[in-house]
Amino acid sequence: MDRSFFHCVSGILLSIFFISAGLAQQAVPPVTVEKIRGNVYQVKGGAGANTGFIIGEKNVAAIDAKMTEEAGKQMVDAIKKLTSLPIGWIIITHSDQDHVNGLTGFPQGVPVIAQENTRAHMDKAFRSPRERAYLPSVTFPGKLTIYQDAGSQTGRIELLYFDPAHTDGDAVVYFPDEKLAFIGDLIFIGRDQLIHRHKNGDSRGLVRTLKGVLNLDADIFLSGHSDPVTRRAIQDHIRNIEDKQAKIAQLVKEGKTLDEVKKIYGIDGQGAGSRWPSLVEIIYLELTHTK
Measured in residues, the chain has a length of 291
Near Zn ion by CB under 5 A, which window of 184-192, 228-236, 242-250, 269-277? 184-192
Of the pair 185, 192, the CB lying nearest Zn ion is at 185
Cα–Cα distance measured from residue 280 to residue 262, given in angstroms and rounded to the nearest whole number: 7
Q: Among residues 64, 96, 168, 192, which is the contact residue for Zn ion, using CB under 5 A?
A: 96
- Of the pair 96, 168, the CB lying nearest Zn ion is at 96
Which 3 state secondary structure label does DSSP give 214? helix
Span of 72-80, 89-97, 214-222, 233-241 interacting with Zn ion by CB under 5 A: 89-97
Cβ proximity to Zn ion: between 92 and 261 the closer is 92
Write the CB contacts of 141 (distance below 8 Å, at least 6 apart in sequence).
115, 116, 161
Nearer to Zn ion, 225 or 256 (CB): 225
The distance of closest approach from Cβ of residue 242 to Zn ion in the complex, given in angstroms and rounded to an integer, is 21
Size of the site for Zn ion (CB under 5 A): 2
Compute φ and ψ for 164, nearest 5 degrees: -55, 130
| Minimal distance, residue 257 CB to Zn ion, in Å | 29
Residues 6+ apart with CB under 8 A from 122: 92, 95, 100, 114, 135, 136
Judged by CB under 5 A, does residue 170 bind Zn ion?
Answer: no
**Closer residue to Zn ion, CB minimum distance, 195 or 238:** 195
CB of 65 to Zn ion, least distance (A): 13
Instruction: Calculate the CA 140 to chain-centre distance.
Output: 18
Cα dihedral sign, 240-245-249-255: positive
Q: Please tell me whether residue 98 adopts helix, strand or coil conformation.
A: helix
* Nearer CB in complex with Zn ion: 49/144: 49
Q: Is 236 helix (H, G, I), strand (E, B) or coil?
A: helix
Indicate the residue type of 20: S
Min CB(185)–Zn ion separation in Å: 4
232 forms bridges with which residues in the sheet?
A: none
Out of 185, 192, 281, 286, point to the residue binding Zn ion (CB under 5 A).
185
Least Å from the CB of residue 249 to Zn ion: 26
Task: Report the interface residues with Zn ion, using CB under 5 A.
Answer: 96, 185
